[in-house]
Amino acid sequence: MSKRFVVVVEDEPFLRSLISDALETAGFEVVSVGTAGEARKLFNKRDPDAAILDIDLGPGPTGLNIGEHLLAQSPGTAVVFLTMLSDPRVINPKSGLVNPRAAYLNKRKLSNTEELIEALEAVLHDQDISEYRHDLDPGSAIAKLSAGQLQVLQMVAKGMTNQQIAEVRKRSLSATEALISRTFTSLGIDLGRDSNSRILAVREYFLQAGIVVRDVQD
C-alpha cells in the first residue's frame, strides 16, 4: 500500500523540518517547500493527497490562495492551514471565510505535532473538523469585527492618525472616529478608563497577527 503524499508549505525552516519529520514518522510521504512559487511548481508535477499550508508566506500568493487553488483543481485534497493568524482577515480584512472543507490551526494553540496529525487525519477521512477550525472560535474578539473595523484596526497598527485613516477610507473624520471607538469597544477596551486605548488595540492586533513586539511601552 502506497504512502499518502503530503506537501508542507512553511517559510520557517525549523518548523518546516519539525512538521516534516513528524509526518514521516506517522507514515506519510512528505515533500516540504518554503515558498508559494515552489509549491505551485510541485503541484503542477504531482497531485498531493494533502497539504499543510502556512498562510503568511511573504510577498506574493498566500497559503490561502494556494489552498483555494488546490481545492478547486482537486476537491479531494485534504488541506490544513497552520498559521499564527487567529483569523485570516487580520492580514486581509476583505478575506472571506476559510473553505469549510479545510482545517485551520493556530500555531499558538497546538501543544504538539500529534494534534496536527489528528487534524490532518480528520480532513483526509471527511470527519467532523469543527474542533480544528480555530478561526471560528466564538471567544475571539477579532472574529466579532466587521471588515471595516478590521481595516481601521490595521491602519491604527500601522501608526496612522484618525485624519489619515479618514482620508484613505474617504470618510468624514467624525465617522472615522466613531468607527474606531466601536472597534476598540468590541475588543473589550474601556475608552472611559484606558487612556492608552490605541496602544492596547495595537497590542491586540499584533497578538492576533502573531507578531512579537517587545518595545511597545505604556
Could you give the 3-state DSSP secondary structure of residue 33? strand
Contact 74, 80 (CB under 8 A): no
CATH class of 142-209: mainly alpha
User: What is the reported pLDDT for 212?
Assistant: 56
Any idea where the domains of the chain sit in the sequence? 5-136, 142-209
Q: Which of 211, 210, 161, 152 is nearest to 179 (CA)?
A: 152
Residue 70 confidence (pLDDT) above 70? yes
Between 156 and 218, where is the model more confident?
A: 156
pLDDT tens column, 89-134:
877 777 767 899 999 999 988 888 999 999 999 999 999 999 999 9
User: What is the reported pLDDT for 218?
Assistant: 41
Question: In which band, very low, low, confident or very high, does the pLDDT at 142 lie, cut at 50, 70 and 90?
Answer: confident
Region 67-90 average pLDDT = 89
Residue 86 confidence (pLDDT) above 80? yes
Percent of the chain with pLDDT over 90: 51
Between 142 and 123, where is the model more confident?
A: 123
Residue 216 confidence (pLDDT) above 50? no
β-sheet bridge partners, residue 54: none
CATH no., domain 5-136: 3.40.50.2300
Q: CB under 8 Å to 14, separation ≥6 — which residues?
A: none
Region 72-77 average pLDDT = 90
